[in-house]
């Protein structure tokens, strides 16, 4: 904590000093109270300015204290805020950087607030399965209005102070001279005399608040209704129209009731897992290569999306296509993306123009010689990708990282056609690449540590969540998803219909069920992969032929108007039709299975068990570096509900003995070729 007497007028500046983000841990909370008390008894001080650093006023609670005695040790944040409220000298918050969660609540409890226009404020607790617990639900509606308060707290995303300048949240929003402006406001308050203005003295229209909260409750989507924090948040916001003490008490009760929920624990776990995912093992902790220019081979949907990611990261991009027509289509995809962002008000025209100015389109392979990283994004077929890497080997500069964007293929088989396998690795982007955050970074047998460090660093530069993977079929995500989808197909043979499986899994919290996902992505993608594997598939393995039979009938999914479901005007039928039912019944009969009804709970558990079993196997094989990486991949790339943590987190909540027994039953029912994660493998994953 730092003190600084302002030049004149008896204003003292208290600066929060807990780098990097001024998290409100117990030590900082104690120091704030002590600093306020020192300033309060100093006769030379008439007013107080509370500020942080250019990076952060305060990013809120210290997450590392969650669940520890320090979290609830006095002074808790509510005590700090009360000490500020009753201070006999006015306290003005001066905001730069971010003021999030408890950091914004600290500012809300001051007698006035001044911010730089670029400062960003928000209450993101909902993203951790919690609600603001130190007055945010009561003071923000009073200061900024119920509509804005609902937006900030339900969405969790921060907003720039400049966007809020017209509200009474801030007394001033300035472009520079933050401390001077805050000191000026503080002197004015001191001159006016007590009582100082405070959010707690403001009142809201009870009928208007009740109407807005009721509408917000009705608009909660299915996934939000599965998370208790959303209902608790609306309960607390609804109380903001009543007496402040009652509202604060209700808020605190709801907050404390959420801390121990599985959903909140899972969200905190996932938050930490994503922060850990980019951390490389000690053997790969080396200096990355410099990257200023990225080349992308292939200007289709995926290639254009990757190029946009690099342009948004202010990198120079070379986009290569085989002919001018294909290149023009790719450039148009990129131009349309930026035009849409500008039209939606999400990007300034100058920023969009600058991004596109960094793009060079070409059909000349020699242009790749100046790229630091080359990312191939062509058709998912080994021979095609090998041809690309042979040509690339001849033109790329020495030391360039050569990356293949592949979902399943063997990185070593691609690297083997080059003279520099140490520079070759996999970068598995997820579609649409400019939206999806997950990036699987795959290490080949010969990939050098500095090439891997470069790829992981590039992932963060592209604002992705990079996860290190070993080179094995399907890597982490598709290998687990393949086991999950396979189990769901087994359940069709056993007696379930596609819509029953999809409904059970969306009820658990998945964004979509597996058969709806298959229709959306196109059944021909899996069909092509299965045909490639057909020659080596053991005939004794259990295989459900329904997907192939649908494709043979031209039912390729949503793009053809029919797959597992039929589609009209882009809308999916609620249930599958007789064609699908007949194929499923025939598959059951061919295997001699007496069909039976599967309860939603059985569907959910079997699907999750399949994921856990495969997760344990691939972790034992060294495909994943950390068990938590598996959960990051499934949550970020495959629609696993974030508030359920991921398959590893879910498994850790289960009774271990029953989990092992159920896995044995699952694998036995799967028949020949199913690999069981034994107790040792399971223990490694879950301990």
Annotated catalytic sites, by residue?
Answer: 105, 125
Give Cα 114 to chain centroid, integer Å: 31
Q: Is 235 exposed, middle or buried, given 0-12, 13-18 or 19+ CB atoms closer than 10 A?
A: middle
Task: Report yes or no: 544 and 537 within 8 Å, Cβ to Cβ.
Answer: no
171: helix, strand or coil = coil
- The structure tokens 């530069």 sit at 461
Please state the φ and ψ torsions of residue 286, each to the nearest 5 degrees.
Answer: -130, 170
Six token digits for residue 93: 């918050």
475: helix, strand or coil = coil
Residue 434: CB partners within 8 Å, gap ≥ 6?
Answer: 305, 308, 309, 312, 337
> Is the peptide bond preceding residue 493 cis, with omega within 30 degrees of 0?
no
Cα–Cα dist 681/455, whole Å? 29
99: helix, strand or coil = strand
List % helix, strand, coil for the chain (3-state, nearest 5): 55, 15, 35
User: CA neighbours within 13 Å on the CB side: how many for 267?
Assistant: 18
Please state the φ and ψ torsions of residue 372, each to the nearest 5 degrees.
Answer: -85, -30
355: helix, strand or coil = helix
Six token digits for residue 46: 């008439």
DSSP per position, 123-168: --GGGGT----SSHHHHHHHHH-HHHHHHHHHH---EEGGGGTTST
Cα–Cα dist 585/494, whole Å? 9
516: helix, strand or coil = helix
Six token digits for residue 645: 């943590």
Q: Is 427 exposed, middle or buried, given 0-12, 13-18 or 19+ CB atoms closer than 10 A?
A: buried
User: Could you give the angle at which helices 514-521 and 523-534 cross, rounded to 10 degrees?
Assistant: 90
Provide the phi-psi class of 561: left if phi over 0, else alpha when psi is between -120 and 50, else beta.
left
User: CA neighbours within 13 Å on the CB side: how many for 206?
Assistant: 5
Residue in 14, 20, 57 with CA at minimum distance from that of residue 161: 57
Widest Cα–Cα separation across the chain:
91
> Is the peptide bond preceding residue 195 cis, with omega within 30 degrees of 0?
yes
- The structure tokens 């006015």 sit at 90
- The structure tokens 């005590």 sit at 79
- Which helix (H) or strand (E) is 297 found in, with range? strand 293-297
Residue in 40, 41, 19 with CA at minimum distance from that of residue 28: 19
Six token digits for residue 83: 């000490």
Task: Report yes or no: 38 and 13 within 8 Å, Cβ to Cβ.
Answer: no
């Amino acid at each position: 904590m730092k003190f600084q007497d302002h030049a004149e007028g008896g204003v003292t500046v208290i600066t929060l000093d807990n780098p990097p983000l001024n998290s409100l841990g117990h030590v900082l909370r104690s120091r704030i109270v002590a600093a306020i008390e020192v300033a309060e008894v100093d006769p030379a001080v008439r007013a107080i300015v509370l500020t942080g650093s250019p990076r952060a006023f305060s990013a809120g609670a210290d997450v590392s204290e969650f669940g520890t005695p320090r979290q609830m040790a006095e002074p808790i944040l509510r005590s700090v805020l009360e000490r500020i409220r009753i201070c006999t000298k006015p306290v003005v918050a001066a905001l730069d950087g971010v003021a999030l969660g408890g950091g914004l609540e600290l500012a809300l409890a001051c007698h006035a607030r001044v911010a730089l226009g670029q400062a960003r404020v928000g209450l993101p607790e909902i993203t951790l399965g919690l609600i603001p617990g130190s007055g945010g639900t009561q003071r923000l509606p009073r200061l900024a209005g119920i509509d804005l308060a609902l937006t900030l707290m339900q969405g969790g995303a921060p907003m720039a102070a400049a966007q809020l300048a017209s509200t009474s949240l801030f007394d001033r929003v300035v472009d520079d001279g933050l401390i001077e402006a805050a000191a000026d406001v503080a002197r004015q308050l001191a001159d006016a005399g007590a009582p100082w203005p405070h959010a707690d003295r403001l009142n809201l229209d009870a009928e208007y608040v009740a109407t807005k909260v009721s509408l917000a409750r009705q608009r909660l989507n299915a996934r939000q209704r599965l998370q208790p924090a959303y209902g608790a948040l609306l309960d607390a916001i609804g109380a903001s129209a009543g007496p402040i003490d009652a509202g604060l008490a209700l808020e605190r009760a709801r907050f404390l009731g959420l801390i121990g929920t599985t959903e909140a624990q899972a969200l905190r776990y996932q938050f930490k897992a994503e922060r850990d995912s980019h951390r490389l093992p000690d053997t790969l902790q080396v200096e990355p290569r410099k990257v200023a220019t990225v080349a992308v081979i292939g200007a289709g949907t995926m290639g254009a999306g990757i190029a946009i990611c690099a342009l948004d990261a202010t990198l120079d991009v070379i986009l290569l296509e085989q002919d001018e027509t294909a290149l023009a289509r790719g450039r148009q995809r990129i131009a349309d993306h930026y035009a849409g962002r500008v039209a939606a008000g999400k990007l300034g025209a100058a920023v969009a123009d600058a991004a596109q100015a960094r793009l060079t389109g070409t059909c000349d392979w020699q242009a790749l010689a100046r790229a630091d990283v080359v990312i191939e994004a062509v058709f998912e077929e080994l021979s095609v990708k090998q041809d690309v890497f042979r040509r690339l080997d001849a033109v790329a500069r020495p030391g360039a990282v050569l990356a293949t964007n592949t979902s399943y293929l063997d990185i070593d088989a691609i690297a083997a056609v080059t003279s520099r396998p140490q520079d070759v690795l996999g970068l598995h982007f997820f579609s649409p690449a400019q939206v999806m955050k997950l990036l699987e970074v795959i290490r080949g047998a010969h990939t050098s540590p500095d090439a891997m460090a470069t790829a992981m660093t590039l992932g963060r530069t592209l604002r992705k969540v990079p996860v290190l993977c070993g080179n094995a079929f399907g890597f982490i995500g598709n290998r687990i998803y393949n086991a999950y989808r396979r189990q769901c197909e087994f359940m069709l043979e056993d007696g379930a219909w596609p819509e029953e499986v999809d409904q059970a899994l969306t009820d658990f919290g998945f964004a979509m069920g597996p058969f709806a996902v298959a229709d959306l992505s196109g059944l021909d993608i899996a069909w092509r992969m299965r045909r490639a594997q057909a020659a080596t598939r053991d005939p004794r393995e259990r295989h459900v032929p329904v997907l192939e039979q649908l494709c043979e009938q031209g039912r390729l999914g949503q793009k053809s108007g029919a797959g597992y479901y039929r589609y009209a005007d882009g809308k999916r039928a609620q249930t599958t039709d007789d064609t699908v039912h007949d194929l499923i019944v025939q598959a059951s009969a061919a295997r001699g299975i007496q069909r039976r009804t599967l309860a939603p709970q059985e569907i959910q558990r079997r699907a999750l068990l399949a994921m856990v079993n495969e997760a344990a196997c691939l972790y034992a094989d060294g495909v994943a570096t950390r068990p938590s990486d598996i959960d990051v991949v499934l949550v970020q790339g495959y629609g696993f509900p974030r508030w359920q943590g991921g398959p590893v987190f879910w498994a850790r909540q289960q009774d271990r003995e029953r989990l092992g027994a159920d896995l044995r039953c699952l694998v036995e029912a799967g028949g020949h070729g199913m690999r069981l994660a034994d107790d040792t493998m399971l223990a490694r994953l879950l301990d």
